Amino acid sequence: MTPDAIPAPGWRLAIRPQAMAQRRGRRLGRGVLGHGVLLALSFVCLFPIYWMVVTSLRPANAIFETTLWPSAASLANYRYTLNAIPVAQMLGNTLVVALLVTAIQLLTALLAAFAFARWRFTGDRLVFALVALTWLVPFQVVMIPNFLLVAQLGLLDSLTALVLPHFASALAVMLLTQAIRAFPQEVIEAAHMDGASSWRLLWQVLVPNLGGSLASLAILIFISTWNEYFWPLLLSRTPENSVIQIGIQMFMSAEGNQWGPLMAASTMASVPILAFYLVLQRQVVQSFMQSGLR
């Protein structure tokens, strides 16, 4: 602290009551302003999403209205979009890919985290570092070799190829390693003494107690896979074999500024995640914050 912040002795007692009243007043003023700041931020964050939904409900002849609610709400845009692109199938594809990736990444991360947390072995630090350092490689750097590999395997324009490079997640490995290391060592040793194999130890002792970490990772992986754009963009050729994010992109380049149907497509792509968020709000926020704070 700098010297000018330290007051002369006695000063504090002398003006205390006055200072307290002043502080209380200031705190009240700050409270109101604080609400104002956060309200403004909330508005900025939410208005675009609100506008997307409202526009999707405006009939074509009233699409340029600026009222907060359509004068005659209709689902015509949704009908139009459903006819223009195979929305249902693309949503289904997205769901399948996101669920598969979530399940696979949790499984592989669990196995790897268990190895890192349970044993010391030659090269363990190096391998852990190599896992952690994968985030240093932007996807654009490896996209051409990855694309060529998929092409060689004859998997272009297939859902399989959307899942394949996502068999492992560095973040999941690191978070689960932490979680397993934090697990009481005595319990693990006791199970070991009882002659439990490492496999049984993992599935019967550890996994039932990792529910929280696994659930929050699952949320994180599912949402980021659902929203992924770049890798599908490289691979997808036909709407039927693609995910909803590519559907929106195809729709936009084919239909241009058909704002109503475009907002309907965007709304349909977002509703599953937003509905999920409505139900599990606190857990979703928590799991994202965990990934950020570490």
Partner 1 sequence: MIRRRRWRQSLTPWLYLLPVAGTFLVWVYEPLAQAVWRSFFEWNMLPDTPMTYVGWGNYQNILALPKLWQALRNTALYMFGLLPFAVVAPLAIAIYTQDLPTRWRNLYRGLIFVPMLIAPVVAASVWRWLLDPGHGVVNRALAAFGLGPVAFLSDPRLAIWSIIGITGWKLIGFATLIASAANARINPSLIEAARMDGASGWAIVRHIRLPLLSSTALLLVTMSILLGAQWTFSYINVLTDGGPLGATTNIYYLLWDFGFSSLSVGWSSASAVLLFIGFALLALGLLWLTERVSLHDA
Restricted to residues 45-64, the positions that interact with partner 1 (CB under 8 A) are 45-46, 48-49, 51-52, 55, 63-64
**Lookup: tokens for 178:** 């932490």
289 near partner 1, rule: CB under 8 A: yes
Q: How many CA atoms lie within 13 A of 203 on its CB side?
A: 4
CB of 107 to partner 1, least distance (A): 8
Site for partner 1 in 125-144 (CB under 8 A): 127, 130-131, 134-144
Nearer to partner 1, 124 or 240 (CB): 124
Per-residue DSSP letter, 15: T
List the one residue out of 118, 230, 228, 95 whose CA is nearest residue 176. Answer: 118
Shortest distance (Å) from residue 186 CB to partner 1: 21
Site for partner 1 in 10-39 (CB under 8 A): 11-12, 27, 30-31, 33-35, 37-38
Binding-site size for partner 1 (CB under 8 A) equals: 96
CB atoms inside a 10 Å sphere around CB 217:
25
Residue 228 DSSP class: -
Residue selected from 96, 99, 218, 273 as contacting partner 1 according to rule CB under 8 A: 273
- H-helix or E-strand containing 134? none
Site track 68-97 with partner 1 (rule: CB under 8 A), x = hit: ------------------------------
Closest to partner 1 by CB, 76 vs 255, is 255
257 binds partner 1 (CB under 8 A): yes
Which of residues 56 and 241 has its CB atom nearest to partner 1 in the complex? Answer: 56
Non-local (6+) Cβ contacts of 14 within 8 A are none
In whole angstroms, the minimum distance from the beta carbon of 83 to partner 1 comes to: 19
Burial class (CB in 10 A: 0-12, 13-18, 19+), 249: middle
Shortest reach from residue 236's CB to partner 1, in Å: 12
What Rg do the C-alpha atoms of the chain give, in angstroms? 26
Q: Is 283 in the site for partner 1 (CB under 8 A)?
A: no
The angle subtended at Cα 69 by Cα 63 and Cα 73, nearest 5°, is 65
DSSP string, 189-201: HHHHHTT--HHHI
At 120, which amino acid appears? R
51 vs 72, beta carbon nearer partner 1 = 51
Q: Which of residues 170-209 bind partner 1 (CB under 8 A)?
A: 170, 173, 198
DSSP 203: I
Q: What binding mask, one character per residue, do residues 209-248 give for partner 1 by CB under 8 A, x or -? A: --------------x--xx-xx--xx----------x--x
